[in-house]
Structures are given as C-alpha cells and as structure tokens.
Amino acid sequence: MSLEAKFNEAAESVKNFKKRPSDDELLQLYALFKQATDGDNHKEKPGMLDLKGKAKWEAWSDKKGQSKEVAMEAYVALANKLEARYA
C-alpha cells in the first residue's frame, strides 16, 4: 500500500473514533494533515481573540519545512496510535 493510500485511510479512521482525542492530540493531527496536504503555512495569523484559530495556525506553523512525505508518515503513525486508544 502506498504512503498516500495509508494517509487517506488514516484520515478516514480518525473521523470514526468513538471517543474524542485531547485538544493537543487533535491539534497535532490537524497540523500534520495540513502540512501533508497544503505544505508550509503561509496564511495570515488570526487575531488575538480567535483562540482556536490561533492555536491551529501555530500548530501548523510549527511543522514548517517538513516535507509532505514526512508529515504523512507522522500523521499515519499518530492516527494509528490514537486509534488504539479512541476507536
């Protein structure tokens, strides 16, 4: 199975968790997904009052410079780890 197929499968499995992961785990999943699909974050940083948007922006920005393949591998590994806990 190709890396992209594993990534897509992991992304689908995350949507079907029976329990909700912690906010930090969700932020890591989001950041890795965005890095794998969109590359480096070049969007404008949200304002001070948008706490959720700011947290997501910062998590994604922390992955800057990471290649698509490395982000996909990390996403698959994290999704598999969380699946054991939340599926």
pTM here is 0.94
Assess contact for 72 and 3: CB atoms under 8 A.
yes
Q: What are phi and psi of 35, to 5 degrees?
A: -65, -40
**55-81 pLDDT, tens digit each:** 999 999 999 999 999 999 999 999 999
- For 3-86, CATH number? 1.20.80.10
Query: Structural domain boundaries of the chain?
Result: 3-86
Please say if the pLDDT value at position 87 is more than 90: no
For residue 36, give every residue at least 6 positions away whose Cβ sits within 8 Å of its Cβ, in sequence order, or none.
7, 68, 71, 72, 75
C-alpha span between 83 and 10 (Å, rounded)? 9
Q: What is the pLDDT of residues 3-14, one digit of tens each?
A: 999 999 999 999
Whether the CB-CB separation of 29 and 74 falls below 8 Å is answered with no
